[in-house]
A and B are shown apart, each in its own frame.
Chain A
Amino acid sequence: MSESPVTEAPVRASRRRWWHRFTTRSPLLVTIDALILGFVVGAVVIITTTASVLDAWRAVFSGWSAFPHACKITGDVVGSAYRAMFTGAVVNPQIFWHAVTTGHGWTVALTPLSETLTYAAPLIIASIGVGIAFQTGIFNIGANGQAILGGVAGAYMGSLVHLPTFIHLPLTLAAGIVGGVVVGLVPGLLKAYTGAHEVIVTLMLNYVVAAVLIFTLLSTVLQQPGQQNDISRNLEPSAQLAPLFGAASGLRVNWGLAVAALVVVFAWWFLERSSLGFDFRVTGANPQAARASGINARAVIVLVFVISGGLAGLAGIVQLAGTTHYLDGGFLIGNAGIGFTAITVSLLGRNRPVGIVWASLLFAGLGVGGRAMQAATGIPLDLATVIQSAVVLFVATPVLVQEIFRLRQTTAGEVRLATSGWGS
């Protein structure tokens, strides 16, 4: 206050300060603007791939009188797509109001939110695992393989052992964590003791684990009886994460969400309050300084992979025990690879637990809403992937967002590039 004399009335000054803040580049504002740009990119894709819209605009070339109509068609198509996405991922106000007034149809009214939370839970867990590694300067590109082996280990424990729920479920989740830790330890030990680059090792291990998945599914031990295809036995009911509101509710959201919440609390405490978490962050910020201050670099590297791999494995078993209850050859493969999605979610959430929760909800919502959009409008689900990718692209290039929205440069230091430090 003291360095710049305030001449205007205090109210105006505070309003101006608020406006100044709103137009100054900050991580939150860049993320919101990136979100807007992502949806703009999505709209462009819809417009350029929808025949009715293109036809309407073609008519404009033969006469400007067609212009309002073309605008209307464009608005209708894009609007209906995004509306279907929103009502499919969050809530459909009409159906919700109907449920409120009549007391019936709550299942249908709450299904969108339930689905978004169902998809978000394992994503949150995996992303926090990746985020903790990022904060330590470690690139865990192998979260997907760790999650798959977590699912496989959990499937062994969950489908071949018979125990009461109170012990079976924790053991199954623990088996998932162990599966992830085992895969995570390979690059951890290799990096700590031989200096092998973790990006290469973790990336390649994904392929190894994908092959292990198929191999185990075709072995008669885990294969579903009566099946010759690559599909596993079902988890015992005692090893499943039950629906939060009971099986009769028809809502799939399950206790995996509670597991995710515990992981968020743990991650916050670990990074902000524990001394080991402090060592991790110091190592991430400046490895030389960390070593000089007596932090055991080897131990940190190995422990990062234990925690990161363990969380990825937990994400795998939460996905398995909470939704399908059986493994198949497509488990977390391809587009379903939450371990890969976790990398982008973690970047979007700036590697912080709370940011990751929001980013996971966004990604899950886009995926779930994309399905509703496809059913309602016929626009392919892949549009959701386009928007997700565009958002991450813009978040990763804050300078571009700053220029597009003509934001002020922050006076207090630079917004760090979310991806800085690659290979360092």
Chain B
Amino acid sequence: MSRGDSRRVRLGTWLGTASLLAGSLTLGVGSVSAQAAAKPFKACVVTDTGGINDKSFNASAWKGMQDAHAKNKNIAVSYLSSTSSADYVPNINTFIHRGCGIIVTVGFLMDQATQQAANAHPKQKFAIVDDAPTGLKYHNVLALQYETNQAAFLGGYLAAASTHRGVVGTYGGMSFPSVTMYMNGFVAGVRYYDKVKGAAVKVLGWTPAKGNCTLAKCDGTGTFVGNFTDQTAGKTITANDFAAGADIVFPVAGSVGLGSVAAAQQAGKGHSIMWVDSNGCVSDAADCSWFIGTVAKGVEPSVRDAVLAAASGKFRGGTYLGTLRNQGTALEYGGIKVPAAVKKAIATIAKGIEAGRISVNPNSYPVK
């Protein structure tokens, strides 16, 4: 090694040492800043493994929190995303330690972690989206549940009234009651349309089993992707439905539905998609012209109201059941024009479902 070489300025080494020093300084000097004078009410959401940008429940729950903040500026909102089920417990604990006024957890996967935390911290308020915990010791958890088959019934009616070819399709992500409930209500709506209009619109992708469809059990046979992520599979299933004569497809599979949109675009005008969970013309605005409507689950308003109630001291544990009546589920129209007469008929049917005059059980209607 030459002398010149050994005299080279070891710039990098110095930089490294300096940055290490700077790092330790920041760590040592910095102290947790004092809390703001007017103590805000902390509302916190722990997402499941879908993450905050899933364009589905997690995103809706987060939007509901932000809506609550917009209504009551004293509510400070924050979130933690989970990468696996092992993260649920520490994420909830982090928020308990940070003094959150209410902790919102999302989905059945967080059921156990939420129950454990709720039973260990009786004074901590929780709300859980789309799940009904059964082992609670105290009244500190609000379970947010949604009877989506009511709005899906309206969606089925809309699809049956809008199809030109007399065939519509649906498919699900996985065969869970929270998924099949949509498909079941959709089929019921089509069958109801067939009955009152004397039509013979067929549904591909879901055949309801005998008996009632509830959030605990909603059986039948149908088409499923097997996950909530494979958009290519969604595209294939939808293209097959189109080939089999359908012109409207209702995917109940989260973002997999984007594959259906792609299939509709490929098939061209006259093909359309019924979106699910949260208004497609908002969450996927660019494709709005391909949506005939959305069968929405009212996660946003229910989370917002739970947070607002907790902030004003009016929180009560128990179960919130989203229905057409309390806008916990709703049919929203998309970018495709629907005749006023159909909209009027749907509004009337909605009233009938709310009043219990119209059954959303597909087995109440003859199969065409």
Task: Tell me whether A and B are bound partners.
Answer: yes
Give the B-binding residues of A (Cβ under 8 A).
Answer: 20, 22-23, 32-33, 36, 39-40, 75, 79-80, 82-83, 86, 94, 108, 111, 115, 118-119, 211, 214, 218, 226-231, 234, 252, 319, 323-324, 326, 328-336, 367-368, 371-372, 374-375, 378, 380-381, 404-408, 411
4 new A-B contacts at CB < 8 Å, known A228-B216, A330-B48, A411-B1: A119-B86, A214-B226, A228-B175, A330-B85
Contact between A334 and B83, CB atoms less than 8 A apart: yes
Contact between A23 and B13, CB atoms less than 8 A apart: yes
A371 neighbours in B (Cβ, 8 Å): 80, 87, 90-91, 94
Q: How far is the CA of A319 from the CA of B85 in the complex (A)?
A: 10
Contact between B30 and A80, CB atoms less than 8 A apart: yes
CB B45 to nearest CB in A, in angstroms, measures 11
Q: Is the interface of A mostly helix, strand, loop or mixed?
A: helix
CB A194 to nearest CB in B, in angstroms, measures 30
A331 neighbours in B (Cβ, 8 Å): 84-85
Q: How far is the CA of A421 from the CA of B23 in the complex (A)?
A: 37
| CB pairs A–B below 8 angstroms (23 shown) | A39-B23, A82-B27, A108-B97, A111-B93, A214-B226, A226-B216, A228-B216, A229-B108, A234-B112, A330-B85, A333-B49, A333-B84, A334-B49, A335-B84, A336-B49, A375-B78, A375-B80, A375-B95, A404-B12, A405-B10, A405-B12, A405-B13, A405-B16
Q: Does B233 contact A (CB under 8 A)?
A: no
CB B92 to nearest CB in A, in angstroms, measures 11
B12 CB contact (under 8 Å) in A33, A79, A374, A375: A33
Contact between A94 and B108, CB atoms less than 8 A apart: no
B11 neighbours in A (Cβ, 8 Å): 405-406
Contact between A33 and B16, CB atoms less than 8 A apart: yes
A230 neighbours in B (Cβ, 8 Å): 174, 176
Q: How far is the CA of A76 from the CA of B298 in the complex (A)?
A: 39
Take A33-B12, A82-B26, A336-B83 as given contacts and tell me if A20 and B91 are in contact as well, using a CB distance cutoff of 8 Å: no
Q: Is the interface of B mostly helix, strand, loop or mixed?
A: helix
B32 CB contact (under 8 Å) in A94, A111, A330, A380: A94
1/0 per position for B71-87, CB-CB distance to A under 8 A?
00000001111011111
Chain A CB count within 10 A is highest, among B9, B20, B90, B91, for B90
Q: Does B222 contact A (CB under 8 A)?
A: no
A82 neighbours in B (Cβ, 8 Å): 23, 26-27
Q: Which residue of B has the minimal Cβ distance to A326?
A: B112
Contact between A226 and B134, CB atoms less than 8 A apart: yes
Q: Does B335 contact A (CB under 8 A)?
A: no
Contact between A252 and B81, CB atoms less than 8 A apart: no
B136 neighbours in A (Cβ, 8 Å): none
Q: How far is the CA of A329 from the CA of B11 in the complex (A)?
A: 50
Q: Which residue of B has the minimal Cβ distance to A86?
A: B27
Contact between B98 and A375, CB atoms less than 8 A apart: yes
Q: Which residue of A has the minimal Cβ distance to B229?
A: A334
Take A111-B93, A228-B177 as given contacts and tell me if A328 and B85 are in contact as well, using a CB distance cutoff of 8 Å: yes
Contact between A406 and B12, CB atoms less than 8 A apart: yes
B10 neighbours in A (Cβ, 8 Å): 23, 405-407
B84 neighbours in A (Cβ, 8 Å): 330-336
B174 neighbours in A (Cβ, 8 Å): 214, 230, 329
Contact between A231 and B108, CB atoms less than 8 A apart: yes
A367 neighbours in B (Cβ, 8 Å): 83
Q: Does B348 contact A (CB under 8 A)?
A: no
A381 neighbours in B (Cβ, 8 Å): 80-81, 83
User: Can you list the 3 inter-chain pairs with the closest CB atoms, starting with the nearest?
Assistant: A405-B12, A336-B84, A79-B26
Q: How far is the CA of A374 from the CA of B79 in the complex (A)?
A: 8
Q: Which residue of A has the minimal Cβ distance to B19?
A: A36
| CB-CB contacts below 8 Å: B1-38 with A | 1, 5-6, 8-13, 15-16, 19-20, 23, 26-27, 30-32
CB A86 to nearest CB in B, in angstroms, measures 6
CB A117 to nearest CB in B, in angstroms, measures 12
CB A214 to nearest CB in B, in angstroms, measures 7
Q: Does B217 contact A (CB under 8 A)?
A: yes
| CB-CB contacts below 8 Å: B156-200 with A | 174-178
Contact between B94 and A229, CB atoms less than 8 A apart: no
Q: How far is the CA of A121 from the CA of B27 in the complex (A)?
A: 27
Contact between B32 and A228, CB atoms less than 8 A apart: no
Contact between A324 and B26, CB atoms less than 8 A apart: no
Contact between B12 and A324, CB atoms less than 8 A apart: no
Q: Which residue of A has the minimal Cβ distance to B177?
A: A228
Q: Which residue of A has the minimal Cβ distance to B26?
A: A79
Q: Which residue of A has the minimal Cβ distance to B32?
A: A94
